[in-house]
């Protein structure tokens, strides 16, 4: 099982290793840096490359908010796992580590394997507030269509809900609601990070819209392209609210676990390239405090 604790690997985890932002500003009005990790399926591996670059550049992160694949990467980062550890885990990842092998009688698969892995990673206390770094992820209410911010309760349930792809994964029942993948309402949840107190937001966009790349060859592909366009436009509206946007160069790679290494490397390059912009933003924020 690929995401369980790796023998001899440095998880980077230590209880209390990170200061949890305080209520009423998540660290105070002077500076709360939020890292927003967007949806992107297998391309979400690029998030880990970006995180590695931020670690190396010494960029402090107070709050992590993710959607879908970004929820999984963000949860692990908020739990204190290093980018090196996440890299090693992702390179071992198999689909059966995330989804059940065969759909149920209702036609849906589910993410019980991922639930088990998250439990093995975090141990007995799987509550979001227990993570050493502030974390939230976003799902969508399947009935109302409204975004649901998950910043409390069970970590594994929250991540599963944020990743429950409509039409593929069974919606997650949570507190009387049916929740599905958050990408349909907040593919890059910058506004959520702002609402939770981040006053400087770094947003990582790993979606690659398929529309415009080729003419749809059949009705199902046409429908997928239109859905993709809507998600992409939602993401662009969110990205306009970010202070720094990081877009790894991953368009040439197909969605595949076989491309994990390329996604990781592209994310790291993009994170390094963004370092100068991040330092400028930090310097401006610090200067305005005096």
**Residues marked as catalytic:** 68, 181
How far apart CA 277 and CA 265 sit, in angstroms, is 20
DSSP-based three-state secondary structure for 173: strand
d(CA 221, CA 264) in angstroms, rounded, equals: 28
3-state secondary structure 13-77: CCCCCCCCCCCCCCCCCCCCEEEEECCCHHHHHHHHHHHHHHHHHCCCCCEEEEECHHHHHHHHH
Q: How far apart are CA 107 and CA 280, in angstroms?
A: 50
SS3 of 283, please? Answer: helix
Distance CA 231, CA 187 (A): 7
Burial of 286 (0-12, 13-18, 19+ CB in 10 A): exposed
> How far is Cα 25 from Cα 196, in angstroms, rounded to an integer?
7
């Amino acid at each position: 099982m690929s995401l369980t604790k790796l023998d001899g690997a440095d998880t980077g985890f230590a209880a209390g290793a990170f200061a949890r932002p305080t209520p009423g500003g998540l660290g105070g009005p002077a500076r709360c840096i939020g890292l927003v990790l967007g949806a992107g399926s297998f391309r979400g591996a690029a998030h880990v490359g970006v995180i590695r670059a931020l670690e190396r550049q010494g960029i402090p992160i107070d709050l992590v908010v993710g959607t879908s694949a970004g929820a999984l990467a963000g949860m692990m980062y908020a739990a204190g796992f290093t980018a090196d550890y996440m890299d090693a885990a992702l390179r071992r990842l198999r689909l059966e580590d995330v989804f059940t092998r065969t759909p149920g009688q209702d036609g849906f698969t589910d993410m019980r394997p991922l639930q088990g892995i998250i439990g093995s990673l975090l141990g007995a206390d799987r509550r979001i507030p227990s993570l050493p770094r502030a974390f939230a992820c976003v799902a969508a209410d399947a009935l109302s269509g409204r975004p649901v911010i998950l910043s409390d309760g069970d970590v594994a349930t929250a991540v599963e809900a944020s990743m429950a792809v409509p039409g593929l994964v069974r919606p997650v029942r949570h507190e009387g609601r049916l929740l599905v993948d958050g990408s349909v309402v907040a593919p890059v949840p910058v506004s959520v990070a702002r609402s939770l107190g981040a006053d400087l937001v770094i947003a990582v966009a790993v979606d690659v819209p398929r529309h415009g790349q080729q003419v749809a060859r059949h009705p199902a592909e046409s429908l997928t392209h239109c859905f993709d366009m809507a998600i992409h436009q939602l993401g662009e509206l969110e990205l306009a609210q970010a202070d720094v946007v990081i877009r790894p160069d991953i368009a040439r790679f197909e969605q595949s676990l076989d491309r994990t290494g390329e996604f990781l490397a592209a994310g790291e390059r993009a994170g390094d390239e963004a370092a100068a912009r991040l330092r400028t933003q930090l310097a401006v924020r610090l200067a305005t405090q005096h």
